[in-house]
Amino acid sequence: MNSILEEYDKKKNVLENLDKSLDTLINSLLKRKGIEAHQIKTRVKDRDSLEKKILAKQKYKSLDDITDIVGVRIITYFDDEVDQIATLIEEEFVIDQDNSVDKRKIDSDKFGYRSLHYVANLKKDRTNLPEYSSYKGQKFEFQIRTILQHSWAEIEHDLGYKGEFEIPSTAKRTFYRVAALLEQADIEFVKLKSTIAQYENNLSQNIKANPSQIEINKASLISFMSKNENVINFENDVFSDEYNLVVIESDVESSAYARLINKIKSLGIENIKQLEEFYLEHEKQLRDSLKSLFPLERNTIRRGDSVLILINYTLPKLTVQK
């Protein structure tokens, strides 16, 4: 054991640098793939934990035998993102299949959180780079799981029971039920995400076909502000031609949408057709009110900002004038 700990002490700086490099690398890879994780956390096993592990297992001969000295935990929002990240890791790293395990495939009547564990090391083309050269052959562990799977793991750890045979018989049924509920919730969240994505994908077409049937919500408002021909034509004419602003496609904050929707609905506007009619009805007042707003100390403006200005600035101004 002493020899392993001495080896650990000598490599501590390298391990800590690997920890930082993996954090940067994983964040970069996920961003490139457009995957937004809930949390990415890396860590180097501390000396006390390592010593306890060596004593408990009684099987390690060298530091290289311990594959989770450096660990990366990736927590996703949705269950299908676990597989997306798994594919990415398999593409970008060398996987030690013998020491990797998919705990999502455990028997349904067994206890334990469901997460995907990979033991891996960097590929040769990466360790050939100077910044990664000192990590050649060094193994590390990935843990990938959803928020709900992580919650189960944390609660299970807090309760102090990890195995089926440790659970009191009187509590087993409750444990099974909670595990099943969390697993079903993961499934339902993926379905919910898919339903929303399908709604958003069909939204532009549905708005054109029957705008009076499309309620005012965040997705429909974004579509109206960014794709409605009347909004686009007005902003190109006024923002671009009159005020020489570059109109950029950029979303606004979620909180701004919530406030805007509340104000729109307070006007009795419940669907996209009514909103379009309202926009056209007040186009002249909107144009006039812009004269007091410009010039601004900027050379760009977001697509759809005319709707924000109409609701948040022009209408209150008209009310005061009355």
% of the chain at pLDDT higher than 90: 60
Residues 222 and 175 reside in one and the same domain:
no
pLDDT digits (tens, 9 = 90+) for 201-235: 999 899 999 999 999 999 999 999 999 999 999 99
Residues 37 and 165 reside in one and the same domain:
yes
CATH code at position 125: 3.30.460.10
Task: Quote the pLDDT of residue 92.
Answer: 97
The arithmetic mean of pLDDT across residues 64-71, rounded, is: 92
Q: What pTM did the predictor assign?
A: 0.76
Among 41-50, 195-204, 229-238, 310-319, the minimum mean pLDDT is found in: 310-319
On whether residue 16 sits in a domain, the answer given is yes
Which pLDDT band holds residue 37 (cuts at 50, 70, 90)?
very high
Local structure of 300: helix, strand or coil: strand
On whether residue 191 sits in a domain, the answer given is no
176: tokens are 């099974």
DSSP letters along 185-251, please? HHHHHHHHHHHHHHHHHHHHHHHHH-GGGSB-SHHHHHHHHHH-HHHHHHHIIIIIIIT-PEEE--P
How many angstroms separate the Cα of 41 from the Cα of each of 22, 26, 58, 106, 267? 10, 10, 28, 25, 46
Closest by CA to 228, choosing from 308, 311, 307, 313, is: 307
Residues 149 and 77 reside in one and the same domain:
yes
The arithmetic mean of pLDDT across residues 1-12, rounded, is: 87
* CB-neighbour burial class of residue 184 (10 A; exposed 0-12, middle 13-18, buried 19+): exposed
On whether residue 189 sits in a domain, the answer given is no
Sign (positive/negative) of CA torsion 197, 203, 206, 212? positive
Tell me if 307 sits within 8 A of 249, measured CB to CB: no
Q: Which residues contact 242 (CB under 8 A, 6 or more apart)?
A: none
Tell me if 261 sits within 8 A of 221, measured CB to CB: yes
Q: Which residues contact 263 (CB under 8 A, 6 or more apart)?
A: 311, 312
Q: Which residues contact 298 (CB under 8 A, 6 or more apart)?
A: 245
pLDDT digits (tens, 9 = 90+) for 109-162: 454 457 899 999 999 999 999 999 999 999 999 999 999 988 888 877 777 655
Amino acid at 14: V
On whether residue 190 sits in a domain, the answer given is no
Task: Quote the pLDDT of residue 111.
Answer: 45
pLDDT digits (tens, 9 = 90+) for 12-21: 999 999 999 9
Domain containing 235 equals 210-321
Which pLDDT band holds residue 169 (cuts at 50, 70, 90)?
confident
On whether residue 218 sits in a domain, the answer given is yes
Task: Quote the pLDDT of residue 113.
Answer: 55
Closest by CA to 86, choosing from 69, 70, 103, is: 103
317: tokens are 């101004």
Interatomic CA distance for residues 140 and 301, integer angstroms: 46
On whether residue 194 sits in a domain, the answer given is no
Comparison of pLDDT for 291 and 97, the residue scoring more: 97
Interatomic CA distance for residues 17 and 94, integer angstroms: 19
Amino acid at 20: K
User: Looking up tokens 């096993």, which residue turns up?
Assistant: 45
The whole-chain average pLDDT of the chain stands at 88
Quick check: 31 pLDDT over 60? yes
Local structure of 306: helix, strand or coil: helix
Residues 113 and 220 reside in one and the same domain:
no
Phi, psi of 160 (to 5 degrees): 85, 15
Cis check: omega of the bond before 211, within 30 degrees of 0: no
Number of separate domains in the chain: 2
Interatomic CA distance for residues 291 and 126, integer angstroms: 57
Looking at 160, 181, 202, the residue that finishes a domain is 181
On whether residue 192 sits in a domain, the answer given is no
Cα 176 to chain centroid distance, Å, stands at 29
Quick check: 63 pLDDT over 70? yes
